[in-house]
Structure 1
Amino acid sequence: MEATMKPSHIGRKISRIRELRGIKQEALAFELGVSQQSVSRMEQSENVEEETLQKVAKILGVSTEAIKNYNDEAVLNIISNTFNNHDNSATLQGHIIHYSPSFNPIDKLMEVIEENKKLYERLLESERAQNELLKKMIKD
């Protein structure tokens, strides 16, 4: 029995990589200088012109070979082998990166709110001073 090779669906691979990178069709379309519908059609196509593929690869931050050889199963294996819920580390090109935020986002938000309050108070004081100056000018 002869095994037949299933043709590589480049458009579907572009779509999967785009989704994994968190890029919307509209953003990819904008970078390519085409409409969102054109990107949708490209992602439904089995084949993509080499020149277009190179542009897409550059925008997605991968090589054309990465798109051509993309495999969902391989990606899932990489994720399952490098991710666990017990630490905040990830691997990037063989290097372990530990992600532990050193700040509380709520504290940062409160700092911004306080800064906005101070700016508002300064603006309000400036407006009061201008009003007083105008009142003085009107009386004179």
Structure 2
Amino acid sequence: MSTRVRKSRRMDITKPHYGRRIALLRNIHKLSQGQLGDRTGYKQQDISEFESKQELPDEILEILAKGLDTSVTYIKEMDENGVGTSVFYVQDQGHGNGNFNTNNFNPVDKILELVEENKKLYERLLAAEKALLAAEKEKADMQQQVIALQKDAIAALQQTNQALQDLLGNTKA
């Protein structure tokens, strides 16, 4: 009886690409490379170079993380493919007496908030357009009334003129 030993293929887990992660976070925060450079003290060219590298030293990651309002741990553990559904945990340890702040940012919540704001703006736009159409209709109605009044005035003037001519014609005879 023979036993076959089956070799299991080891899953090839790709190494994290920290540069791409930095670029993703920078884009989420709507920052240009120059703006991130200003926040971190690097030049735009340095940021571009960092974003092209797969690995970055922890010292550089620490500086970039602060510029992106996140932590090195998050950058190292984030899922590049699912960044849209990730929640960012930002920690700021203040100086003195152990002040500790935690700021949570969820891009999905922000998108939903923006969609709701867009919806409200669209509804306001529709209401404004309806009001404009109503005003245009009222203007057209008023113009029709003015035209009718002008016609009546012209007819009255013509009658008055005719009556005067008749009166003048009767007095001459």
TM-score (structure 1 length as normaliser): 0.55
Q: How many residues align?
A: 91
The partner residue of 1:6 within 6, 14, 30 is 14
Once the two structures are overlaid, the 10-residue window that deviates more, 26-35 or 10-19, is 26-35
Q: What 5-or-longer segments of structure 2 have no aligned partner? A: 1-8, 87-105, 125-173
Gaps of 5+ in 1: 89-99, 105-140
Matches of 2:40 and 2:84, distance apart in 1: 29
1:109 corresponds to: none
Q: Distance in 2 between matches of 1:60 and 1:28?
A: 8
Q: How far is 1:37 from its partner?
A: 0.8
For 1:38 and 1:76, how far apart are their aligned partners in 2? 26
Q: Residue 81 and residue 62 in structure 1: after superposition, are their counterparts in 2 closer, same or farther (change >3 A)?
A: closer
Q: Which letter maps to 1:32?
A: T
* Change over 3 Å in CA distance of 1:19–1:2 after alignment to 2: same
Distance 1:14 1:80, change over 3 A: closer
What is the percentage of aligned positions where both structures have the same residue? Answer: 23
Calculate the aligned-residue CA RMSD, in Å.
2.9
What's 2:61 paired with?
53
Structure with max Cα Rg: 2
Deviation at 1:41, TM superposition (A): 0.5
Question: Counterparts of 1:32 and 1:14 in 2: how far apart (Å)?
Answer: 13
Q: Which has the higher contact order (CA 8 A, sep 6+)?
A: 1
For 2:38, the aligned partner's letter is F
Which of 15, 29, 34 in structure 2 is aligned with 1:26?
A: 34
Amino acid at match of 2:52: Q
Q: Please tell me whether residue 63 in structure 1 is matched to residue 48 in structure 2.
A: no
- 3-state SS of 1:16 partner: helix
